[in-house]
Amino acid sequence: MSRRTLTFAMSVLTVGALAACGSSSDPLGSSTTTSAAGASSGSAASTSIVVGSADFSESVLLAEIYAGALKATGVNATTKLNIGSREIYLKALDDGSIDVVPEYTGALAYYYDKNFAETDPTKVYDGLTGLLPDTLQVLKASAAEDNDSINVTAETAKKNNLKSIADLKPVAGELTLGAPPEFKERPQGIPGLTKTYGVTFGSFRPLKGAQLVQALKNGQVQAANIFSTDPAIAANGFVTLTDDQRLFGSQNVVPLLAKSKNSAEVTAALDAVSAKLTTAVLSDLLKQTDIDKADPQTVAAKFLADNGLG
């Protein structure tokens, strides 16, 4: 299950916990800045946009990038970061507490339709547009995806001539796969690898996070299910095997926006960001924030400057 789907899965518990506490504090109360929430009615300078984020580092970084790009076009953009799970920040979009938030095409489509099964990027995006409430819209999707991926070391890739998941078929029986425990049973996990690619690993080790990365590095596992933007992939020179049959679906990064706050300036600024974002670029930016511990706002500003967007 991807982080995007897990975010939704925890949302009901989050809402319940807030209610049980009887706290008068707003879940958006930890915002880094504040802004007037009035609708746009004139030039870019009069437009006020609040950019929200979920409570994980990639979403925070993307929100800072969106806000910086909007500011560069004259939009009065501010941020409310680390709001929480999908249900929480979608409620914030509904009530006007925020106006735009980074999202993921496949996970958002599945949120609105539990039977959603498209995997082609274009079909996922088109399907999503038909599922959104009338008050919301998505702008152009980026090429960047945060998705499940199968990774091997450069040595294993070279030894077995591995470029795609399909290439694993003749050798997988001799290899151990490491992945989060739920990967063993879920349809897009081990059963999906067998059904879609005919790939059956010799053994499975339930691992996640730093333990999984370390196990792949030291050879305790020879293949690992790691999120595609995880900076550990680039930091360790791992090789991500292409998912040509789209077993893991499509999770392209896309701005989700309240229609009432859209304008030509807003669309142009956010579409320009999406045009520059790839999975490799996003992974490198996350290395700077998550591994090098750079400030997300600083990393976002440099990305925008380097791409003529800030």
Instruction: Supply 224's token pair.
Output: 């690992």
Q: Please say whether the beta carbons of 4 and 107 come within 8 A.
A: yes
Helices 86-95 & 105-112, crossing angle to 10 degrees? 80
Can you give the pLDDT of all 310 residues of the chain as single tens digits?
455 544 444 443 343 333 333 332 333 333 333 333 333 334 555 679 999 999 999 999 999 999 999 999 999 999 999 999 899 999 999 999 999 999 999 999 999 998 998 999 999 999 999 999 999 999 999 999 999 999 999 999 999 999 999 999 999 999 999 999 989 998 889 999 999 999 999 999 999 888 999 999 999 999 999 999 999 998 999 999 999 999 999 999 999 999 999 999 999 999 999 999 999 999 999 999 999 999 999 999 999 999 999 8
Give the separation between CA 279 and CA 151, rounded to whole angstroms. 14
Q: Check residue 44 and give its pLDDT.
A: 54
Measured CA to CA, the distance from residue 270 to residue 290 in angstroms comes to: 24
Dihedral sign for Cα 166, 172, 177, 183, please: positive
Residues 6+ apart with CB under 8 A from 4: 86, 104, 106, 107, 108, 146, 251
Can you tell me the distance from the alpha carbon of 231 to that of 61, in angstroms, rounded to the nearest whole number? Answer: 14
Model pLDDT, residue 33: 38
Residue with tokens 């897990």: 6
Angle between helices 86-95 and 11-21 (to 10 degrees): 70
What pLDDT is attached to residue 1?
A: 47
**249 is written with which tokens?**
């679906």
Q: Whose structure tokens read 């919301």?
A: 136
Exposure b/e, 27-37, CB count within 10 A at least 16 = b = bbeebeeebeb
Residue by residue, what is the 3-state secondary structure of 243-303?
CCCCCCCCCEEEEEEEHHHCCHHHHHHHHHHHHHCCHHHHHHHHHHHHHCCCCHHHHHHHH
* Predicted pLDDT of residue 34: 32
Phi, psi of 106 (to 5 degrees): -65, -45
pTM greater than the 0.85 cutoff? no
pLDDT at 188: 86
